[in-house]
Chains A and B, each alone.
Chain A
């Protein structure tokens, strides 16, 4: 049951984008088309889960053991950067088609605060290994949900008559705000 709570919390109640403000850059940048938004979401979910798990292992099995917790930030970011590099090489070799769809987003994901954020939060909340997996998958899917919904709305907005100063970033943020308001409705879901 605990896992369900953690998963639902990361997915809806404390949605990574709309509550924690993590992953805003790709959220604003890639949410203008539905298919690219979905691909980005999937790429992020994959990297997020992997990065969170590896970071957890490094923190709990290495850093804590040798009293090197202050190296958390440096080691996490290096892990994430290398991981993204490896994932990119792997995808390029395994599936050129997949690489064509996801490839360009992968380097962007390195500086995605959502990835580092998941790793940091999992350690902060002192989750176990299994809880970290559930948490990061939920977070990634929450990001995907938010970005896909946003893309759907933005595709509609493209046809609307938005006043000039609001076009692009302005109306996107205001829409995100309204979206965040609606997601607040989920807050009674987990106690």
Chain B
């Protein structure tokens, strides 16, 4: 019984309480870069989900075999391998998306979220718990990215996933699609999350 309750907790903590992007402020580079449209965000969410889950499983499986001094290097190589897989997969089957995401898919390898979860969790817990943690964190990441990209695309383009939503209601704010808009939207979002957390 106790095992089950902990598993649920490991899964849900990544969704809100310890949301990697909005609370822990990790992995901001891809968050800001690919949220200019919901489609790009979905691509990134998929890639991160794949890399984080597979890496956590692998790190958790081999944790007893890795000497302490080389553990970070080992994690990085494991993560880099899965990132290469994800990158090549996207380039082969979704070339337009791959081009839109550009260097940000390879940059997942230095995404603090993934390395952070290996160091903080997967290297100290069993495989099942690590999967729960990874899936929870990926979903939390996904929620943050969907929120941010929806805000940016609706306000900046008047569309959502390419479908026009607010046609004629107001002139889209071009700035939201641009880097400046990313910072502004994230700043407001992070502040709102902090406000609701501290109420």
A residues at B contact (CB < 8 Å): 18-25, 28, 70-74, 77-78, 81, 110-113, 116-117, 120-121, 124, 164-166, 169-181, 184
The CA of A180 and the CA of B178, in the complex, are separated in Å by 9
- With both beta carbons as reference points, the residue of chain A lying nearest to B84 in the complex is identified as A73
Within 8 A of A (CB), among B103-157: 103, 106-107, 109-112, 115
The CA of A164 and the CA of B197, in the complex, are separated in Å by 12
Q: Taking the complex as formed, is B32 at the interface, i.e. its CB lies under 8 A from any CB of chain A? A: yes
Q: Taking the complex as formed, is B180 at the interface, i.e. its CB lies under 8 A from any CB of chain A? A: yes
Interface string of B159-199 (1 = CB under 8 A from A): 00000000000000001001111111011101110110010
Contact indicator A24/B103 (Cβ below 8 Å): no
Given the interface contacts A21-B33, A28-B25, A73-B84, does A78 sit within 8 Å of B77 by beta carbon?
A: yes
Q: What residues of chain A lie closer than 8 Å to B190, measured between beta carbons?
A: 169-170, 173
Which residue of B32, B73, B110, B184 has the most chain A CB atoms within 10 A of its CB atom? B110
Contact indicator B32/A24 (Cβ below 8 Å): yes
- With both beta carbons as reference points, the residue of chain A lying nearest to B106 in the complex is identified as A73
- With both beta carbons as reference points, the residue of chain B lying nearest to A174 in the complex is identified as B187
Q: Taking the complex as formed, is B100 at the interface, i.e. its CB lies under 8 A from any CB of chain A? A: no
Given the interface contacts A70-B88, A170-B188, A177-B187, does A184 sit within 8 Å of B106 by beta carbon?
A: no
The CA of A77 and the CA of B191, in the complex, are separated in Å by 33
Which residue of A18, A166, A178 has the most chain B CB atoms within 10 A of its CB atom? A166
Interface string of B70-108 (1 = CB under 8 A from A): 000100110011011001100000000000001100110
Given contacts A73-B83, A74-B84, A117-B107, 12 further A-B contacts (CB under 8 A): A18-B179, A21-B29, A21-B33, A21-B182, A71-B84, A72-B106, A73-B84, A113-B29, A121-B103, A164-B198, A169-B190, A174-B183
Chain B nearest Cβ from A107, distance in angstroms: 9
Contact indicator A112/B110 (Cβ below 8 Å): yes
The CA of A112 and the CA of B182, in the complex, are separated in Å by 19
